[in-house]
């Protein structure tokens, strides 16, 4: 009888452990899953991206992207917003007033146009269409939207309309540099809450690099503090630039310097 009671207590203890372990594993695995971590890193580079854009960039099915995003939203790593279409962005990273702006910038052709204008100041609409293989109507639609949001300005030059970047690009870059301390603190706090033991490998207003450790697994999380740091808001520091370039989630524009 004593032996049976002992065995029964073992089974009870095992039952308690099985109740605890899934919760423990769930919390610890939120950023340890490679696909989920890649999606989160991608959103830090390209906030307000659509599910279809994320899936294409990471070569993951849209259904898988949605599943991982649900997990990230539930754990408050990611915020979802309906803004004409459903967009996602890292929680505490983006000013909600900027979601429409970043939704436009998340479109690949928008970034290509901004990169082209940056490298060829005063480029006109016909050149933009030719260089990016866009028909003139599509090119003008992008240009009109970018100008409406104040990212570019235009000047008439005879039959051509020439385009230039505005100071807004630099203002956005400085704004998110200042916001980086707040965002960084939130990420580190969330990682600790999820059972990870984050160790800072690199910390600056432009980039955060963390080692995530749960004892049996170690992963590296690289987070640009400035949206589109690998594109229009190019990093100047060679080490930081190299780290972001390793996150090859979209083809590099031929107009990036």
All structural domains of the chain, each given as residue ranges with its CATH number in brackets, are 24-95 (1.10.10.10)
| pLDDT one-digit tens code per residue, 178-196 | 999 999 999 999 988 888 8
| pLDDT one-digit tens code per residue, 78-107 | 999 886 778 899 999 999 899 999 999 988
Strands laid side by side in the 152-157 sheet: 123-124, 160-165, 152-157
Helix (H) or strand (E) holding 222: strand 218-224
- Residue pair 208/31 in contact by the 8 Å Cβ criterion: no
Pairing relationship of beta strands 123-124 and 160-165 according to DSSP bridges: antiparallel
Backbone phi and psi for residue 234, each to the nearest 5 degrees, phi listed first? -70, 140
d(CA 220, CA 213): 9
Backbone phi and psi for residue 146, each to the nearest 5 degrees, phi listed first? -65, -35
d(CA 176, CA 228): 11
Taking 60 as the threshold, does the pLDDT of residue 155 lie above it? yes
| pLDDT one-digit tens code per residue, 2-59 | 444 445 344 434 443 444 444 444 445 588 899 999 999 999 989 998 898 899 889 9
Closest CA to 98 of 246, 232, 226: 226
């Amino acid at each position: 009888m004593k032996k049976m009671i002992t065995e029964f207590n073992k089974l009870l203890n095992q039952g308690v452990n099985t109740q605890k372990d899934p919760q423990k594993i769930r919390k610890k695995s939120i950023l340890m899953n490679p696909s989920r971590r890649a999606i989160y890193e991608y959103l830090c580079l390209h906030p307000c991206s659509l599910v279809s854009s994320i899936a294409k960039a990471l070569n993951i099915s849209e259904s898988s992207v949605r599943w991982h995003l649900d997990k990230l939203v539930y754990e408050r790593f990611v915020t979802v917003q309906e803004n004409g279409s459903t967009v996602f962005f890292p929680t505490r990273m983006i000013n909600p007033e900027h979601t429409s702006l970043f939704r436009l910038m998340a479109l690949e052709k928008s970034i290509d146009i901004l990169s082209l204008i940056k490298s060829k100041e005063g480029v006109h609409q016909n050149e933009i269409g030719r260089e990016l293989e866009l028909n003139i109507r599509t090119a003008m639609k992008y240009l009109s939207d970018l100008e409406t949001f104040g990212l570019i300005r235009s000047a008439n030059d005879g039959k051509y309309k020439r385009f230039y970047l505005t100071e807004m690009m630099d203002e956005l870059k400085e704004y998110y540099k200042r916001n980086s301390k707040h965002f960084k603190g939130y990420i580190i706090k969330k990682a600790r809450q999820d059972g990870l033991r984050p160790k800072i490998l690199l910390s600056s207003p432009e980039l955060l690099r963390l080692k995530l450790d749960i004892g049996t697994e170690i992963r590296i999380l690289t987070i640009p503090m400035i949206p589109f740091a690998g594109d229009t808001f190019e990093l100047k520091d060679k080490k930081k630039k190299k780290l972001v370039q390793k996150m090859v989630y979209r083809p590099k524009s031929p107009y990036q310097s």
